[in-house]
A and B are shown apart, each in its own frame.
Chain A
Amino acid sequence: MTSLLIKGGRVIDPANKIDKKLDILVENGKIKEVGKGIDAKADETISAEGLIVVPGLIDMHVHLREPGREDKETIRTASKAAAKGGFATIVGMPNTTPDADNQTVIEFVKSKAAKEAIVNVLPVGAITKGRKGKELAEIGELKKTGAVAVSDDGSDVQDANLMRKALEYCRMWNMPVLSHSEDIRLAAGGVMHEGLVSTELGLAGKPAAAEEVMVAREIILSKMVQWPIHFCHVSTKGSVELVRTAKKAEQKVSAETCPHYFALSDKDVRGYNVNAKVNPPLRSKEHVEAVKEGLKDGTIEVIASDHAPHTLVEKFREFDLCENGMVGLETTLPLVLTKLVNEKILSLEDAIAKMSINPAKVLGLDKGTLSKGANADITIIDLNKEEKVDPEKFESKGRNTPFAGMKLKGKAVYTIVKGKVVFSNGNIS
């Protein structure tokens, strides 16, 4: 029997509406007790005086790259980056090589994770075979093997009839569906947001409408089929408004955004900044403001990283030709704390909920709380710790971040997974 006592921290557990200075006792990887002045002998004690103790954070949008592109990232390195960033659980997207459109890949990710990962790794399967949008993947088998959702992330199901069938079929298997939301014809050729900056730089733009028409379509299909839809990386004003309206009509939809959609804008692309190339693209100010408003009023209930590591040679080249995406596991929590909590857009409790209980609910996971008996996934945060983003210090193999050099305030100081301290005071164990 191993035990861990976390003493004196401010415990914030949004699911249980707790925000109090409490102690937490962990035994055998489970939460044994949350209370005042717990007086127990434990194998290990963490003094959390002045720190924030929250449910182990969940990042529901991560590109693990393994299998296939281990030069960009592996399940092990992604899990270490997650631990350092305060995430106890990461959810891996299916655009690996081969695609996670079959049980073999899901099994591989699970077994690799069991052997090598230091945080929980949950795989997402593909909606269609090869994520080509032509035929449904074997979603029943994906479910049975342990895929927690399906998504054609990176591309999208362009055929509305197939998407309808996917939603119907997923309803039968109780399988959450994540929508990438991009009309590839409207977005064709685009490498950044279509706006004043794309005109200035002479780059082809993707209009906000390329995302919005798909969000609208998904909402309509989801209503018809009566199965929920979750929107990945929402980046536009129109998308926020569509989701807000659907929620008001009590439709079961959920939405996620990523730090770059509230912390940056298309202006950051100036100078052909390859690290600011991402899909969906960084939008103009009105969209950024709408995303913040959506976070504030709860329209967007999840914050995820869309962690997308790439090799240097894939990023450092002509803007048109470089890969989309940026790493995020090690910067997401500091960005949320700096840009949303410290700037009073979100309360600390809301911010934590969007990275713990809310994604758990979307995916139907028994996670994201500090309830008695729950797995002891716990993140401890120091709100006052200030650090400059230094890609050279990342645990991730990816160095592609537009946040390099930015000073951020607040970060994880401990990450605990099933009772085991996997990250403490800057050290991965």
Chain B
Amino acid sequence: MHPRRQKLWEEIGKWQEDFEDRLIKVIGNRKLPGKNIISIDELSKEDMELVFDCTKLFKEFIIKPDKKINLLKGMSQINFFFEASTRTRVSFELAGKNLSIDTINVSGSGSTIDKKGETLNDVVRTLNAMHADIIILRHAKAGSPEMIAGQINAPVINAGDGWHEHPTQAMLDLYTMLDKRGQIEGLKVALVGDIKHSRVAGSLIRALNKFGVKPHIVGPPTLMPYGMEKVFKCKVFNHLDEAVKGVDIIYALRIQLERAAGGDIPSVREYSKSYCVNQERLALAKFDAIVMHPGPINREVDLKTEIMESDRSAVEAQVENGFALRLALLYLLLGGDRR
């Protein structure tokens, strides 16, 4: 090896060793309550703070030239995605690989479930028999992660189940708010759009509630679940302008373009007139309010390109933080004493 490279590797090795020590120190004697991450309901504010503390460290890690660290070598991770996903799947896969886990992707289409009628339970038992160390599941049916968790030994991370929850998205969103605003408590947050079909909203509202934040929820009544204010601590609005007044964060959700066909909205055109986050609407929020979106974005429908491209947008920060957070979460679930 060239002496210059030799020196670089030595530096990296030293940094990584140091990094592991710092991680162990940050974690202290804290640990996550269960083996799975299925619902925000199972996590306390303190549990999420533990994840955030580790995420902060991993943000240093992800900008290093060598993003491979031998923290979880020899483990196997199965990314089981039954629905389309880019950022969530890629960030889980990269996170796993960077921690030296062997990762495998299984998609719904082309699997034995799709082609041969095998049940989800039978498939996960097969994966269990191969001693998978962790399963990341995205599934169109609410409750699937809970169901498979009961069948297998490995931890399960819910990467989105139907209209129910997407807990890692909520945590990365909260981390982003924390990063941008210094603290989560006391923030004013408005969630805009299709609340009913949004697992992102499902987890985010739960997570904000754990920090005492009572978000504004705004969307047409046809896209609003029954009894939101009774189920969660939140305030429901139908008109966007009222909901975003004075908020710190406007969180736009994705509208599925086929919703008009189901009669939930008259047209995407009318929807965007009422709910697209634009300059005038952003001006109603706090002067330094930020705009967030879980992606994928319908530009000009969910939010205007000019906002997306401005410094008010935290969309890319969300993705970056999501990556760091998933590294942290995998380490917390599989590393240290849990190994």
Chain A, range 174-220, C-beta contacts under 8 Å to B: 194-196, 198-205
What's the least CB distance linking A320 to chain B, in Å? 4
Asked if A204 meets B163 with Cβ closer than 8 Å, knowing A318-B143, A319-B141, A320-B142, the reply is: yes
* A195–B226 CA distance with the chains assembled, in angstroms: 6
Judge if A317 is at the interface, Cβ distance under 8 Å: yes
- Contact of B143 with A201 in the complex, beta carbons under 8 Å: yes
- Contact of A202 with B161 in the complex, beta carbons under 8 Å: yes
Judge if B20 is at the interface, Cβ distance under 8 Å: no
| Chain B residue with the shortest CB-CB distance to A200 | B231
What's the least CB distance linking B260 to chain A, in Å? 16
Judge if A224 is at the interface, Cβ distance under 8 Å: no
Judge if B14 is at the interface, Cβ distance under 8 Å: no
The residues of A with any CB-CB pair to B shorter than 8 Å are: 194-196, 198-205, 271-272, 313, 316-321
| Chain B residue with the shortest CB-CB distance to A188 | B262
The residues of B with any CB-CB pair to A shorter than 8 Å are: 119-121, 139-144, 146-147, 161-165, 199, 202, 225-228, 230-231
What's the least CB distance linking B170 to chain A, in Å? 13
| Chain A residue with the shortest CB-CB distance to B225 | A199
- The interface residues of chain B lying within 8 Å CB-to-CB of A195 are 226-227
- Contact of A321 with B141 in the complex, beta carbons under 8 Å: yes
* A199–B164 CA distance with the chains assembled, in angstroms: 8
* A204–B162 CA distance with the chains assembled, in angstroms: 10
- Contact of A318 with B120 in the complex, beta carbons under 8 Å: yes
| Chain A residue with the shortest CB-CB distance to B151 | A316
Question: Can you list 11 residue pairs at the A/B interface with Cβ under 8 Å?
Answer: A194-B226, A196-B226, A202-B142, A202-B165, A202-B199, A203-B143, A203-B164, A271-B146, A272-B147, A319-B142, A320-B162
- The interface residues of chain B lying within 8 Å CB-to-CB of A318 are 120, 139, 141, 143-144, 147
Known contacts A194-B226, A316-B121; can you find 17 more A-B pairs with CB under 8 A? Answer: A196-B230, A199-B225, A201-B142, A202-B142, A202-B162, A202-B163, A202-B199, A203-B142, A205-B226, A313-B119, A317-B119, A318-B120, A318-B144, A318-B147, A320-B141, A320-B143, A321-B141
Q: Which of A196, A202, A205, A317 contacts B202 (CB 8 A)?
A: A202
* A194–B146 CA distance with the chains assembled, in angstroms: 21
- Contact of B146 with A272 in the complex, beta carbons under 8 Å: yes
What's the least CB distance linking A319 to chain B, in Å? 5
* A272–B142 CA distance with the chains assembled, in angstroms: 8
| Chain A residue with the shortest CB-CB distance to B140 | A320
| Chain A residue with the shortest CB-CB distance to B203 | A202
* A204–B228 CA distance with the chains assembled, in angstroms: 14
* A271–B42 CA distance with the chains assembled, in angstroms: 13
* A33–B41 CA distance with the chains assembled, in angstroms: 64
What's the least CB distance linking A399 to chain B, in Å? 16
- Contact of A317 with B231 in the complex, beta carbons under 8 Å: no
* A313–B117 CA distance with the chains assembled, in angstroms: 12
The 5 A-B pairs of least Cβ separation, nearest first, read: A202-B164, A272-B143, A318-B141, A202-B163, A199-B225
- The interface residues of chain B lying within 8 Å CB-to-CB of A271 are 146
* A199–B197 CA distance with the chains assembled, in angstroms: 10
What's the least CB distance linking A207 to chain B, in Å? 8
- Contact of A198 with B143 in the complex, beta carbons under 8 Å: no
Name which of B120, B121, B142 has the most chain A CB atoms within 10 A of its CB. B142
- Contact of A317 with B121 in the complex, beta carbons under 8 Å: yes
| Chain B residue with the shortest CB-CB distance to A198 | B226
